[in-house]
A and B are shown apart, each in its own frame.
Chain A
Amino acid sequence: MSAHILRRLPRSQIRVPTRVPRRWSGSISQRPGSDSVRFPGAVNSKFTTNMTFINPTEGPNIPTYRVMDSDGVLVDKNRRPLDMSNDEILTWYKNMLTVSVMDVIMFEAQRQGRLSFYMVSAGEEGISIGSAAALTPDDVVFAQYREAGVFQQRGFTLKDFMSQLFANCNDNGRGRNMPVHYGSNYPRMHTISSPLATQIPQASGAAYALKLEALQNPNTPKRIVACYFGEGAASEGDFHAGLNIAATRSCPVVFICRNNGYAISTPTLEQYRGDGIASRGVGYGIDTIRVDGNDIFAVYEAMREARRIALSDGGKPVLIEAMSYRVSHHSTSDDSFAYRARVEVEDWKRRDNPIIRLRKWLENEGLWNEDLERDTRDKLRKEVLKEFGDAEREKRPPLREAFEGVYEELTEEAQEQMKELKRILETYPEEYDLRQFKDGINGL
């Protein structure tokens, strides 16, 4: 222990505390003739005289869990029946349609310049809605930005979406964040921030807080944290930090990686060389599964089981890698045909898609048909357009929101700067248009 400190400290700073025992009670020493390693860093390893480097390409890749095939037919005829009601499944389907309809309209609205920015989640609706369906309202979510379905499934309304996208005076974010950076207090979905992967160690800390709260107050319901990110974000240092710390502190958190094949223009071949993201979970000592992200049943079942595992043994992290394909552009600022073939995208759209797959299952069960599909899409389109119009007409938040919320209370410096801004606005009224802002100059 003392040697470890010395590595960090100039010698004169150190006085080794006398109360530290020379050897911890759990420490183990090498027995003579032992056939296995007793180094503290790896206590269950056998010795070998066969010098073999582990080659990651030789072993079998981690399989992908699926429940239904691309025709919407349950693959394993012997499996137990799905244990969710048809009503529930219809709700999932409508939620996927809602996100999909909203995506098309908002993408177009951005193209017309009525919105500054947008990101669709086409092709990934099954991951977000299927996983969110396995959460309780008390669970906490940290998302990246392509998880509109999580918000939809957990009760975010079209008005909530539109208020945020137009950053108007009803926006939870008070007009401060770029579009698609949604947030909600309850069910708690932390407001999305643009820096990638920063939410991963935060999710571990949040999960630890929930665990501690449950320990201190056994009457509180057991809760987990669900943390979403893409396969590109998993290259950030915060991914490493977050998973490692979650494992060592036994945090009840489920990490859901949306592996959609691209990080903007970068294909996964330039993102990593291992067996995707799932293979790394094993390295951190985390229970891990890879699922077919286009199969909402597989995602739901994996997430429900992950939630159970996360709450077992006093808490532990789980990693789910959900495979999909980003059929859309990365964002409205991106033209993805600059780096991938249009035919590849069209192929994915046609061949496999979480919405079409569930629709086929519903039709096979006699729960859905062409008329219902058309009527539902028309109805959703009208609802989205209505909320769109209402949100667009709303005023922006009052100008004081630019300064408030930096600290719990306005600092004396901020008050002075607000006064100075007001003086400028009053002196040069022709230079600024305040009509769009609630209460105009008095909003400051």
Chain B
Amino acid sequence: MSSLRLPRLIRPARRFYSGAATPSSRLNIPIDYKTTPLLHHTSSSLSESLDLPGSTTSKPLNLYQAINSALRTALAKSDKVMLFGEDVAFGGVFRCSMDLQTEFGSERVFNTPLTEQGIVGFAIGAAAEGMKPVAEIQFADYVFPAFDQIVNEAAKFRYREGATGVHAGGMVVRMPCGAVGHGALYHSQSPEALFAHVPGVQVVVPRSPSQAKGLLLASIFEHNNPVIFMEPKVLYRAAVEHVPNEYYTIPLSKAEVLKPGSDVTLVSYGQPLYLCSAAIAAAEKALGVSVELIDLRTIYPWDRQTVLDSVKKTGRAIVVHESMINYGVGAEVAATIQDQAFLRLEAPVKRVAGWSTHTGLQYEKFILPDVARIYDAIKQSIEY
């Protein structure tokens, strides 16, 4: 049921994957994470944005190191935190749990048998007795065997227990998600919309290392609700920024306005925010428009007010995400905008998202949103 074992592949020539730009590309050029304005390249911009005390120290980390730092911080903060999943003991296939078993012992950091429904069921039971289990599903593509445990059990646990007061709110299920250029059908998926249809769970997608640590610590310690925590795996090594060394949190269910603007509102989350940022730079230069960029951060329950306030100001909205357009997060955001900001809209709400197909190996760059498609959506919205 779990991963179909990928055969050993002969390493293909680099040009075959990650959507390499054509020589003439002006929009679809690779994201330069070293210069993107979305990452905190200095400690000073970090402390301004996170409102941290002056004594806070930070260091540059990539996303997997930031997750590792969050998990280490959590394990040190409370002996109720435990970490498990497939292959987490030696450090994890993406290195997120490096050294944690050595530091915190094999009772709290351990491998499970290869069974996703078992991992999530185990987490629910441990949470119900007061632990704070952080379970890892190796790829979001393999969460489906655990769908029953998440939808029927974790999400409904508090509701059905009622007056007994028992709940499974201490649990977090982490999973790497999103496309990496060559993950094809089962190493590319972003199933956040499926979980957003389930009352009782919180769904979180961070965009950067500092955000990932703050949101993960908030998911573990500041909410007694089961959290589905989806980590865009293409950022594990690519995105590097300053991350506070100590414990800090970023509130869930709160969106962030990344860049103010007056003509169009762009709403996204996770990795596509970098594409949005590049498209905005091109559009503002070429079209003379001003675009507001919002990071949803929590997919559900989501911060409707921040989005509505923005759209009421700009009159135009575009939602961008990797997962399929049909019944995706964009549908919910667009319908809410239409319902609550109808008289302020000057153009239809646009959705730039994956086409309603599977991520065939060779076709990824044609299926997922890119800078050109986002740029085009801005243009169309403005010219409507």
Check if A and B associate.
Answer: yes
Question: Which of B87-95, B239-247, B376-384 is near enough to bind chain A?
Answer: B87-95
Q: Tell me if A209 and B130 are in contact (CB < 8 A).
A: yes
Bound-state CA distance A6–B6 (Å) is: 7
Distance of A184 Cα from B162 Cα, bound (Å)? 10
Per-position binary interface string of chain B over residues 132-173, scored 1 when its CB falls under 8 Å from any chain A CB and 0 otherwise: 010000110000010011001100101111111111010000
- Option from A184, A190, A213, A412 in Cβ contact (under 8 Å) with B128: A190
Q: Determine whether the beta carbon of A405 is less than 8 Å from that of B162.
A: yes
Chain B positions 76-131 with a Cβ under 8 Å from a chain A Cβ: 79, 82, 87, 90-91, 93-95, 98, 107-108, 110, 112-113, 115, 117-131
| Residues from 227 to 269 in A contacting B, C-beta threshold 8 Å | 237-238, 240-242, 244-245, 248-249
Contact present for B158 and A172 (CB under 8 Å): no
A202/B131 in contact, CB under 8 A: no
Contacts A191-B164, A245-B118 given; indicate if A201 touches B94 (C-beta within 8 A).
no
Instruction: Say if the beta carbon of B373 comes within 8 Å of chain A.
Output: no
Report which of A7, A17, A202, A413 forms a contact with B6, defined as CB distance below 8 A. Answer: A7
User: A158-192, CB under 8 A of B: which get 1 and which 0?
Assistant: 00000000000001111011000101110010110
Given A9-B187, A10-B6, A408-B225, are A193 and B129 neighbors across the interface (CB < 8 Å)? no
Are B166 and A185 in touch, CB under 8 angstroms?
Answer: yes
Q: Which residue of A lies closest to B336 (CB)?
A: A413
The size of the chain B interface, using a CB distance under 8 A, is 73
Given contacts A191-B166, A207-B125, contact A11 B9 (CB under 8 A): yes
Using A17-B95, A216-B79, A406-B200 as known contacts, say yes or no to A176 and B6 having CB atoms under 8 A apart: no
Q: Which of A20, A176, A241 contacts B117 (CB 8 A)?
A: A241
Instruction: Check B3 against A205 for contact (C-beta < 8 Å).
Output: no
Residues of B within 8 A of A173 (CB): 160-163
Closest to B233 in A: A13
Chain B residues with CB under 8 A of A205? 121-128, 133
Q: For the complex, give the distance between the alpha carbons of A148 and B39 in Å.
A: 57
Task: Pick the residue among A198, A248, A412 that contacts B148 (CB under 8 A).
Answer: A198
User: Contacts A183-B160, A238-B121 hold; do A8 and B3 have CB atoms under 8 A apart?
Assistant: yes
Residues in B39-54 with C-beta less than 8 Å from chain A? none
B121 interface neighbour in A6, A202, A212, Cβ under 8 Å: A202
Task: Compute how far the CA of A9 lies from the CA of B233 in the bound complex, rounded to whole angstroms.
Answer: 12
* B223:A193 contact, CB within 8 angstroms: no
As a 0/1 sequence over residues 1 to 23 of chain A, the CB contacts with chain B under 8 angstroms (1 = contact) are 10011111111111001001000
* Contact call B3/A238, Cβ cutoff below 8 A: no
**Given A14-B93, A176-B162, A205-B122: A407 and B200 within 8 A (CB)?**
yes
| CB-based contact A201/B160 at 8 Å | no
With beta carbons under 8 angstroms apart, the residue of A5, A204, A248 that contacts B125 is: A204
Q: Is the CB of A212 within 8 A of B107?
A: yes
**In chain A, what residue has the closest Cβ to B158?**
A405
In contact, B129 and A210 (Cβ under 8 angstroms): yes
A411 interface contact, C-beta 8 A = yes
Contact B118 A407, beta carbon cutoff 8 Å? no
A40 is an interface residue with CB less than 8 A from chain B: no
Please count how many residues in chain A sit with their CB below 8 Å of the partner chain's CB atoms. 65
Determine whether the beta carbon of B225 is less than 8 Å from that of A203.
no
Of the listed residues B107, B161, B187, the one surrounded by the most CB atoms of chain A closer than 10 A to its CB is B161
Chain B residue nearest to A216 (CB atoms) is B79
Q: State which of B121, B139, B163, B166 has its C-beta within 8 Å of the C-beta of A188.
A: B166
Interface contact A408-B223, CB-CB below 8 Å: yes
> Which residues of chain A are near B120, meaning CB under 8 Å?
201
Residues of B within 8 A of A9 (CB): 6, 93, 187
From the candidates A1, A13, A181, A244, name the one contacting B180 in the complex (CB within 8 A).
A13
Chain A residues lying within 8 Å of B93, measured Cβ to Cβ, are 5, 8-9, 13-14
| B183 vs chain A, min Cβ distance (A) | 6
Is residue B1 within 8 Å, beta carbon to beta carbon, of the partner chain? yes
Q: Which residue of B lies closest to A4 (CB)?
A: B87
Q: List residues of chain A with CB within 8 A of the CB of B113.
A: 241, 244-245, 248
**Digit string of A203-225 for contact with B (CB within 8 Å is 1, else 0)?**
11111111011011000000001
Q: Does A26 contact B (CB under 8 A)?
A: no
Determine if A195 and B129 form an interchain contact, defined as CB atoms under 8 angstroms apart. no
Rounded to whole Å, the gap between the CB of B199 and the closest CB of chain A is 5
Contact A212 B90, beta carbon cutoff 8 Å: no
By beta carbon, the residue of chain B nearest A248 is B113
Given A5-B93, A140-B129, A198-B152, verify A245-B122 contact (CB < 8 Å): yes
| Closest Cβ neighbor of A202 among chain B residues | B125
Task: Known contacts A176-B159, A188-B166, A204-B121; decide if A7 and B9 are in contact (CB<8 Å).
Answer: no
| A200 on the B face (CB < 8 A) | yes
Chain A nearest Cβ from B84, distance in angstroms: 8
Given the complex, which residues of B lie within 8 Å of A13, measured CB to CB? 93-94, 180, 233
**Contact residues of B between 16 and 31, Cβ < 8 Å to A:** 17
> Does B285 count as interface, using CB distance less than 8 angstroms?
no
Question: Known contacts A6-B8, A249-B112; can you find 4 more A-B pairs with CB under 8 A?
Answer: A5-B87, A208-B125, A212-B82, A242-B121
8 A-B residue pairs with CB within 8 Å? A7-B3, A8-B5, A9-B93, A191-B160, A201-B121, A206-B128, A242-B121, A408-B225
For the complex of A and B, list the 4 residue pairs with the smallest distance between their C-beta atoms, beginning with the closest. Answer: A201-B121, A205-B125, A241-B118, A202-B125
